[in-house]
Structure 1
Amino acid sequence: MAAQAGISAVQLGLPAVAPRIRDELGLSLAGTGTLLAASTVGIIATLLGWGALADRVGERAVIGVGLTGAAGALALGSQAGSAGALGACLVLAGALGSSANAASGRAVVAWFGPGERGLALGLRHMSTPLGGAAAAALLPLAADAGGLEAALLALAAACLGGALAAVAGLRRAPAAPDASGAPRPGAGPLRDPAIWRLSLGTAAVVLAQLSLLSFTALYLHEERGWSPGASALALAGVQAGGAVARVVAGAWSDRAGSRIGPLRALALAGGVTLAAAAALLAAPDGPAVAALVVAGVLTMAGNGVSFAAAAEMAGPARVGTALGLQNTVLFVAVAMAPPAFGAAVGLVEWPAAFALAAACPLVGWWALGPLRARERARPS
């Protein structure tokens, strides 16, 4: 959780000091947005490789080396004199820090059995919004004290803390009696249609999730006249609710003995709730905003469950590769969602844009259908 929170602080917390970035570097809005996306570009580029490496050498080395390198890249970025140099350092930090994304999930899968794995992965995924929320709260204070340099050094310290936690606390789990670590017969994760279907189905839900997380505060401020503080508080409510929902969904999947069933139920509920929110945008704040918040929480809830499903499909020797593949597909959706939703708002206005976003979880629900049938047919 500490390792994942470290890199999440970079990706989700840096926007909190976007005004400082824009002022100190003299950037346009488009330039600021491009710089904020730099770490995500690095993450997408290396997730699969880090996952495969974790399968070979273990999580401790991968996370320790990767997050230490990310801390160094951020420290270097704190001394950058131009937007281009800072952007390169952020790409490098994302490329190195993504080691935590695939390898930390692999560690959880290795240490927890099927009856508790969903809850454990829910806790691990809870660290993503918590790391982002902590960074969003603290980075502005660091920037006020020492400018952008201090904010970047604080993020470097967070990554280094995650690296130290991994080195001190992680070790390889003993092989389970029925899982010696030998690869399963048949195609590996990269050639397994079921893992691709799972990844693409959950990515469809993430498209709606990131659209809501990226634009809820802006919608409340510009269209409903909420203050920036009140808009940010509503967004924080979505993040906090989503963090708790990830743990609840993981525990639910453990008790149900199913990963795909809860995933499909959450996707359907998220799509229906977001469609209702789109229809309620002309209503007073109470019902309209409540529907947006609930839809945001529901679309965030299934991340940990989807990772448990991918790990169990792949088998113990290929968990890192499977999670690296799934992470890569999901981060592509993370990168696509904000510009696509923003373009939709410009073309068809807010209600229709939210309605289009609501269709995405429903596509995910449909895509996961064959996997649910396969899960039911599998021996206990």
Structure 2
Amino acid sequence: MAIDTAVPGRIGGGARWIITIVSLIATASSFLFINGVAFLIPSLQTERGIALDEAGLLSSMPSWGMVVTLVLWGYVLDRVGERIVMTLGSGLTAAAAYAAATAHSMVATAVYLFLGGMAAASCNTAGGRLVSAWFPPSQRGLAMGVRQTAQPLGIALGALVIPELAERGPGAGLKFTAVACAVAAVASVIGIRNPPRKPRETASAEELASPYRGSLALWRIHAVAGLLMMPQTITVTFMLVWLIKNLHWSVAAAGGLVTLSQLLGALGRIIVGRWSDRIGSRMVPVRIIAFFAAATLFLLAWADQVNSRYQALLMVVISVIAVLDNGLEATAITELAGPFWSGRALGIQNTTQRVMAAAGPP
């Protein structure tokens, strides 16, 4: 795949990495909210008497909310830039999380979780484009790999904190996500600087043309990213409750293993991002990751069937492999779509992924 050779705006390397860290914080807080409900499932079953399939459906509400607005946020992003989108989105997510925490019925909780997902979609789209635009192609994979650690780090934080808080009730865990998103909103308004871009009025017709016209490259990347989302979603949603119910682990031990797997996944994203810079391709590593993800899933299914002692180890392995590809695909999308379509292209990409994420748990 050809690598975009556009030169980013001229600011110091330190400033670029500060912007990257702020993007990471904002995106991590959004994923803390999106995936945090999964860590409330044991508490929901105990405190509210909800069946596992119903709790899984509730945990998918933020993902369904994201599906509705990802492309819309991408359109807004292409018009007003990253700073406004990430600040507004994080603030609205915080408000929805607090409302869900204080709701008195499960229907109201589900509605607020859905609305929070609609708001959280902002960071998922804007954060990647922000980082990609500030770095040259030779460093872009590494920078996007660092930024893409936001998802596993957000999930790891949720696995470490939310199950313990949820022993006081599900509302305590949701209030924690509200505080995190509020902090992200403040960090975004202070620390984010929009990258310089050519005004639309001076752009050529070729630069403004849809990158989807006459090429299936972007659609193929969307399809691959969506399919590879399924193992990631299943492991994130059910790993904790599977360790507790099937392997009889304590809440603390199960949460610790989930946290470890997400931290390893975060490190892996940085490594594969740098790998893609060195070989000049984003999609070659994705093909290799897809092969090993499929192989490990088959092994895990077999281990669970025969009650193997290696079940927990294989669950960690697939949890790590399943999160490695996201940054590579997002980088490829921004490079192929160009500055005037990257917001919408990332919105379509993330919509495809969230449809799979929302469909997986139920």
Q: Using the alignment, how far apart are the partners of 1:321 and 1:234 within structure 2?
A: 36
- Cα displacement string for residues 81-134 of structure 1 (whole angstroms, at most 9, x for unaligned residues): 211111111111110121110011110111111111111111111111111221
CA contact (8 A) 2:70 2:122 kept: yes
Q: Which residue of 2 aligns with 1:158?
A: 180
Relative to structure 1, the CA distance from residue 66 to residue 219 in structure 2 (aligned partners, 3 Å threshold; closer, same or farther) is closer
> What is the match of residue 172 of structure 1?
194
Q: Please give the alpha-carbon distance, in whole angstroms, between the structure 2 residues aligned to 1:48 and 1:274.
A: 31
Name the SS of the counterpart of 1:98 in structure 2: helix
Look up the equivalent residue of 2:25 and give its one-letter code: A
SS in 2 for 1:138: helix
Pick closer, same or farther for the CA change 1:218–1:70 going to 2, 3 Å. Answer: closer
Alignment of 1:218-233 (within 5 A): 229-233=252-256
Higher relative contact order (Cα pairs below 8 Å, separated by 6+ residues): 2
Paired residue secondary structure (1:115): helix
Instruction: Report the TM-score when normalising by structure 1.
Output: 0.79
Alpha carbons of structure 1 residues 142 and 291: separation in structure 2 relative to 1, 3 Å: closer
C-alpha contact (below 8 Å) 1:189/1:321 kept by paired residues: no
What residue identity is the alignment partner of 1:331? R
CA distance in 2, matches of 1:250, 1:327: 19
Q: Which amino acid aligns with 1:151?
A: G
Assess, with a 3 A threshold, how the Cα gap between structure 1 residues 315 and 83 changes in structure 2: closer, same or farther: same
Structure 2 residues not aligned, in runs of 5+:
1-23
Cα distance, 1:75–1:222 mapped onto 2, change above 3 Å: closer
Question: Which runs of 5 or more residues in structure 1 are unaligned?
Answer: 340-380
Query: Do structure 1's residue 101 and structure 2's residue 138 form an aligned pair?
Result: no
What residue identity is the alignment partner of 2:183? G
Give the Cα–Cα distance (whole angstroms) in 1 for the partners of residues 77 and 281 of structure 2.
26
Tell me the equivalent position of 1:271. Answer: 294
- Once residues 219 and 156 of structure 1 are traced to their aligned partners in structure 2, the CA distance between those partners, rounded to angstroms, is 27
1:128 match: 151
Q: After the TM superposition, which residues 78-89 of structure 1 pair with which residues of structure 2 at under 5 Å, given as runs?
A: 78-89=101-112
Distance 1:321 1:234, change over 3 A: same
What SS is found at the alignment partner of 1:54? helix
CA distance in 2, matches of 1:324, 1:155: 23
How many residue pairs get aligned? The number is 334
Is 1:57 the counterpart of 2:110? The answer is no
Residues 213-362 of structure 1: matches in 2 within 5 Å? 213-217=236-240, 229-279=252-302, 282=306, 284-286=308-310, 289-339=312-362
Alignment RMSD, CA only? 2.6
Pairwise CA distance, 1:50: 0.3
Partners of 2:56 and 2:361 within 8 A in 1: no
SS at match of 2:182: helix
Percent identity over the alignment?
A: 34
Tell me the TM-score normalised to structure 2 length: 0.83
